[in-house]
């Protein structure tokens, strides 16, 4: 009797849960894909849709390729069209849009968003029009769980044209800070063609961070640095030319350059990754999650050197 009762309860629960899955909106997502594909400047649109299941919403990802000559207005129209559907038809689904027009990119994420279509369009246009002449913009926005302001948050990383160097990035960011109002919901960054960049998660990088970033670049290989208000830093670099792992002189020269950069990072929360010109990992030191890799003898020596200089890593 008890087994029968338990089976009955389990069956009833399974039936109840089976009815909890949200309805599929694949057809609507396909219609949105076709609508985007017909917009001016669009070359192609790819859709990836995941059906909703019990206790998990549906998911759609739209990757839109536009002509390199697409205008800011055309890019904004694509973004607004997609977000209008994210905000209504797909409001309870996880929705992502990726747009590429030449070197310019826009990423937008939405889930139960509160932002208006106009607010999203304005945010995209602001980033696009801030790009320097001959440069490009990487705009990364979210409307998911943004309770303040216009409910849009993210970052603008603006790239200088071909041939630019690290020395031009602080000038770009200082100029932008004088031209645009600051909001804690939008972070700004700048990038040069030599691989150096700096992005900040809230407003413009403060002067002391800019000065520290310049010391990074002067000390060794060019680094792409992501900085956060709470002081966390993620630095990633790639050598511009091939590194001869068998050359003692090259190995020692690189080790000293990396040590100089690690000293600039100092006793805080950070992660440092450096790759060879071919993409192979040379150094990976994590003082943020305190995970040890030691994938190479150079990596192991530098990790030991950091512990000797700065003390053991303290997990968050």
Average pLDDT over every residue of 225-241: 96
Give me the pLDDT at residue 84, please. Answer: 98
66: β partners: 42, 101
Tell me the pLDDT tens digit for each residue of 183-201.
999 999 999 999 999 999 9
- Work out the average pLDDT over 85-109: 97
Q: What is the pLDDT of residues 103-131, one digit of tens each?
A: 999 999 999 999 999 999 999 999 999 99
More confident residue, 84 or 14: 84
Which has more pLDDT, 251 or 69?
69
When pLDDT is averaged across residues 220-248 and rounded to a whole number, the result is 93
What are the phi and psi torsion angles at 257 (to 5°)?
A: -65, -45
Strand-strand pairing, 223-227 and 197-200: parallel
Confidence band for 247, pLDDT divided at 50, 70 and 90:
confident
Nearest to 93 by CA among 106, 110, 78: 110
Place of tokens 């996880």: 94
Determine the average pLDDT of the residues in 232-250. 90
Task: Please tell me what DSSP assigns to residue 113.
Answer: -
Where on the phi/psi map is residue 35: left (φ > 0), alpha (ψ -120 to 50), or beta?
A: alpha
Query: Per mean pLDDT, which of 3-7, 16-20, 30-34, 250-254 is the most reliable?
Result: 30-34
What was the pLDDT predicted at 7? 45
pLDDT over 50 (residue 6) = no
> What local confidence, expressed as pLDDT, does residue 314 receive?
84
The total number of residues shown for the chain amounts to: 316
What pLDDT digit, counting tens, does each position of 138-162 carry? 999 999 999 888 999 999 999 999 9
Per the prediction, the chain carries an average pLDDT of 92
pLDDT value at residue 315: 79
pLDDT, residue 294, reads 65
**Domain residue spans of the chain:** 22-159, 198-316
**pLDDT of 29 over the 50 cut:** yes
Q: Is residue 258 a contact partner of residue 238, using CB atoms and an 8 Å limit?
A: no
Confidence of residue 21 (pLDDT cuts 50, 70, 90): confident
The percentage of the chain sitting over the pLDDT mark of 70, rounded to a whole number, equals 93
Q: Does the pLDDT of residue 80 top 70, yes or no?
A: yes
Query: Tokens 């190995």 map to which residue?
Result: 251
pLDDT of residue 291 exceeding 90, the answer is no
- How far apart CA 68 and CA 158 sit, in angstroms, is 16
Assigned token pair, 110: 């939405």
């Amino acid at each position: 009797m008890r087994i029968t009762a338990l089976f009955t309860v389990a069956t009833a629960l399974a039936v109840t849960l089976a009815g909890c899955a949200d309805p599929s909106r694949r057809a609507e997502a396909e219609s949105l894909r076709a609508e985007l594909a017909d917009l001016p400047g669009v070359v192609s649109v790819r859709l990836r849709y995941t059906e909703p299941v019990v206790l998990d919403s549906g998911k759609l990802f739209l990757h839109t390729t536009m002509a390199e000559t697409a205008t800011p207005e055309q890019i904004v129209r694509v973004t607004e069209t997609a977000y209008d559907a994210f905000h209504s038809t797909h409001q309870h689904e996880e929705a992502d849009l990726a747009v590429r027009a030449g070197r310019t990119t826009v990423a937008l994420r939405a889930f139960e968003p509160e932002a208006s279509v106009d607010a999203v369009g304005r945010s995209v246009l602001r980033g696009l029009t801030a790009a320097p002449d001959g440069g490009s913009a990487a705009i990364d926005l979210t409307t998911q769980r943004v309770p303040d302001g216009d409910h849009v948050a993210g970052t603008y990383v603006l790239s200088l044209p071909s041939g630019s160097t690290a020395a031009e990035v602080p000038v770009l960011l200082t100029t932008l800070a004088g031209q645009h109002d600051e909001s804690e919901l939008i972070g700004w960054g700048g990038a040069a063609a030599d691989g150096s960049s700096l992005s900040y998660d809230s407003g413009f990088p403060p002067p002391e961070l800019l000065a520290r970033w310049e010391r990074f670049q002067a000390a060794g290989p060019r680094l792409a640095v992501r900085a956060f208000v709470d002081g966390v830093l993620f630095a990633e670099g790639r050598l511009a030319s091939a590194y001869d792992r068998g050359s003692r002189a090259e190995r020692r020269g690189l080790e000293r350059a990396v040590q100089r950069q690690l000293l600039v990072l100092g006793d805080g929360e950070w992660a440092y990754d450096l790759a060879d010109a071919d993409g192979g990992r040379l150094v990976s030191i994590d003082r943020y999650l305190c995970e040890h890799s030691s994938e190479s003898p150079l990596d192991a020596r530098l990790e030991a050197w950091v512990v000797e200089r700065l003390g053991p890593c303290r997990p968050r």
